[in-house]
Structure 1
Amino acid sequence: MNNRIKVLRAERDWSQQSLADRIGVSRQAVNAVERGKHDPSLQLAFDIADQFNLRIEDVFLPVKKSSSEG
């Protein structure tokens, strides 16, 4: 799953730690989600989107399948 977390943090001048503190997770968890190494739980996705005052769809972007993948 792709996301805009890094860009959104940069716009607000927030560190990964700052976002982590706001949503009650570790900096490592934010890093893993931000880098696409871990898909967030639905609750975590809502929590992240809420911090940016955005909808989940505005933060997290599904990976589009190519037409050859069926």
Structure 2
Amino acid sequence: MSSILDIVRNDVRELRVAKGLSQAELGEFLGVSRQTVNAIETGRYSPSLPLAIKLARFFGRTVEEVFHVDDDQP
């Protein structure tokens, strides 16, 4: 049985690359490690709500625009 966390996707990598930032640069701005940014981008880690809000604000998006449910999952 899948949990909701298994089907939540994010656009962090695409947004970061569009701004020309490395994972380390984004992590420095957010106050987290490059490894944390990588884990978020690859879906191995779901950020806390405050971190998700900080990410969304950094990219000028809503949390729902950055993190979304993958409707293709069963």
TM-score by length of 2: 0.82
One-letter amino acid of the structure 2 residue matched with residue 57 of structure 1: E
1:1-70 residue pairs with structure 2 within 5 A?
1-64=8-71, 65-66=73-74
SS of the residue corresponding to residue 14 of structure 1 reads: coil
Alignment partners' CA distance in 2, 1:48 and 1:13: 15
Q: Which moved more, 1:30-39 or 1:57-66?
A: 57-66
TM-score by length of 1: 0.86
One-letter amino acid of the structure 1 residue matched with residue 33 of structure 2: S
- In the comparison of the two structures, how many residue pairs are matched? 66
Once the two structures are superposed, what CA deviation does each residue of 1:9-43 show, in whole Å capped at 9, x if it has no partner? Answer: 11110110111011100111111011000111111
Structure with greater Cα Rg: 1
Residue identity (%): 39
- Superposition RMSD in Å: 1.1
Kindly report structure 1 stretches of 4+ aligned residues shifted beyond 4 Å. none
After TM superposition, give the deviation of residue 63 of structure 1 in Å.
3.5
